[in-house]
Homo-oligomer: A and B are copies of this chain.
Amino acid sequence: MPLFFKISLFFFFVSSSYPLDNNHPLESLTLFELTQVTNIVKNSYFPLNVTFHYVGLNEPNKQLVLSWLSSTHHPALPREAIVITRIDQKTHEIIVDLSSVSILSDKIYNGHGYPMLTLQEQTAADELPLSYPPFISSIKKRRLKLKEVACQGYPVGWYGEKKKSTNRMVKVICYYLDGTINLYMRPIEGITIIVLLDQMTIASYIDRLIVPVPKANGTDYMGSKRRRSSHESNSIKIVQPDGPSFTLDNGNTVRWGDWKFHVAYDMRAGIIISLASMFDADKREFRSVMYRGFVSEVFVPYIDLTEEWYYRTYFDAGEYGFGLCAVELEASKDCPENAKFIDGYFISQDGTPGKMPNVICIFERYAGDIMWRHTELAIPGKVIRKVRPEVSLVVRMVSTVGNYDYITDYEFKQSGTIKVTVSKPRS
């Protein structure tokens, strides 16, 4: 299965083996549940081919969750999944109930927009041009080597067309390696390739103009090929000799200082923070700060009117999936030494669940900053001095969408605020 080659490097596919071992109602679907869900849907449509674009928890309504939260014995709430599939070139939104092992609802979606791209269909689309004679001829015409070409499919956008198209499509853009790994620095401009995803065929091919490919020299970003700094830096680490101050239970509820919240992985949204609340020591109770928070969308419009660029107006969360594009986080690099990690579970196109190890990290952040301080000299005969360092708690995910690496941080501050940042470091 060459289509799976790229992702199999990253994700260790695991077999479903154990049931839900906790009963937090907002916990992401487990491996066991994901397998159940896709089996229910596949069995229901057998022998039709079902492609899975999104499977996630269908959360119980807020009132149910809040009453669960305030009860002392925390009774298990119903577990449901929302499934977005393509079946017979139609988009289905299916709700699956896990306790009754049945489909609660199944609607065909006819509105604008399409399901998220799967990793498998992206890989398949990327490979199409490489064996497509007109493209091979275009590459030859440019005096480039076909084996140094790498392609990527991108959504086509929407420009007010009234007629709804049932065709899911991407435009495939190709880049040139040949001496660099930094392919985005060497676009092969002037070519527009439209791929129909359900058919996985090239529907339209235009080679409009030849633009010289920029040189490879100086584009490499790996350390060994970059010019060296005049001084090398000594290592710097954040250490907690007594361990982290936060706890993470097996239902992914985090407690830190006065904070309590739930963290979950979602294929589309990435991190979902729920039930974030802070302990009020005066009232001796938790006060709700945020019921549910996640990145709803990241819009990336290039605002370039040329034929090969006008459509580059991506929804990087909704089209690619911030969770699906998340990378395995590396200790001491993506997250500091004192981080703890959480795994995520996603569904591949054929319904097989996959594990994303260390997809979320949680750590106490200390940058040497001061949260609060005062030196009081106005009281005769006294010098009063109080300094409180700024320590916060960060929940992080990194999502790589094409050449963009998004760092999503939910930073919980002792002041009671949550600072959410989606940042793109230089890359």
Quick one: closest B residue to A383, CB to CB?
Answer: B9
Q: How far is the CB of A168 from chain B (nearest CB, A)?
A: 20
Residue of B nearest to A326 (CB): B375
User: Given that A231-B256, A258-B231, A389-B333 are known contacts, is A239 also in contact with B240, CB under 8 Å in the complex?
Assistant: no
**What string of 1s and 0s marks CB contacts (under 8 Å) between A392-427 and chain B?**
001000101011010100000011000000000111
Q: Is A338 an interface residue (CB 8 A)?
A: yes
B375 touches A402 (CB 8 A): no
* Chain B residues within an 8 Å CB radius of A279: 229-230
Q: Which residue of B lies closest to A390 (CB)?
A: B425
Asked if residues B5 and A387 are in contact (CB atoms below 8 Å), the reply is no
Distance (Å) between the CB of A220 and the closest chain B CB?
10
Quick one: CB contact mask for A123-147 with B, threshold 8 Å, 1 for yes?
0001100000000000000000000
Nearest-neighbour CB distance to chain B for A289, whole angstroms, equals 15
In the complex the two chains form, is A372's CB within 8 Å of B6's CB?
Answer: no
Minimum distance in angstroms from A302 CB to a CB of chain B: 18
Contact of A368 with B336 in the complex, beta carbons under 8 Å: yes
A374 interface contact, C-beta 8 A: yes
The count of residues in chain A whose C-beta lies closer than 8 Å to any C-beta of chain B is: 91
Q: How far is it, in angstroms, between the C-alpha of A232 and the C-alpha of B365 when the chains are bound?
A: 16
Q: Is the CB of A238 within 8 A of B400?
A: no
CB distance from A139 to the nearest CB of B (A): 15
Contacts of A382 in B (CB 8 A): 181
Most buried by B among A150, A236, A339: A236
Chain B residues within an 8 Å CB radius of A177? 379
Q: Does A175 interact with chain B (Cβ within 8 Å)?
A: yes
Q: Assess the A257–B238 pair: CB atoms within 8 A.
A: no
Q: Are A370 and B234 in contact (CB under 8 A)?
A: no
**Is there contact, CB below 8 Å, between B374 and A400?**
yes
Q: Let me know if B238 and A245 touch, CB within 8 A.
A: no
Q: CA A229 – CA B279 in complex, angstroms?
A: 8
Known: A336-B366, A378-B152, A427-B373. A257 touches B236 (CB 8 A): no
> Given A378-B402, A386-B221, do A426 and B234 touch, yes or no (CB 8 Å)?
no
- Is the CB–CB distance between B236 and A281 below 8 Å? no
B257 and A231 contact, CB distance less than 8 A: yes
Q: Residue A237 contacts which of B6, B239, B375 (CB distance < 8 angstroms)?
A: B239
1/0 per residue A205-248: CB within 8 Å of B?
00000000000000001110001111111111111111111000
Q: A181 touching B376 by the CB < 8 A rule?
A: yes
A405 shortest CB reach to chain B, Å: 5
Q: Which residue of B lies closest to A392 (CB)?
A: B367
Q: Is the CB of A372 within 8 A of B234?
A: no
Q: Is the CB of A368 within 8 A of B394?
A: yes
A181 touches B398 (CB 8 A): no
Q: Which residues of chain B are near A332, meaning CB under 8 Å?
A: 389
Minimum C-beta distance from A125 to chain B (A): 12
A249 at the interface (CB under 8 A from B): no
Cα distance A137–B405 when bound, in Å?
A: 69
- CB-based contact B281/A229 at 8 Å: yes
> Is A330 close to B, CB under 8 A?
yes
Given contacts A415-B426, A427-B372, contact A234 B242 (CB under 8 A): yes
* B368 and A368 within 8 A (CB): no
Q: Which 6 A-B pairs have the closest CB atoms?
A: A367-B367, A336-B368, A333-B387, A234-B242, A233-B245, A227-B281
Q: List 6 A-B contacts (CB under 8 A).
A: A231-B256, A232-B245, A238-B368, A334-B387, A372-B426, A373-B398
Apart from the given pairs A229-B279, A335-B368, A365-B368, 7 other A-B contacts in the complex at a CB distance below 8 Å: A150-B380, A229-B414, A233-B257, A234-B242, A368-B394, A371-B426, A372-B426
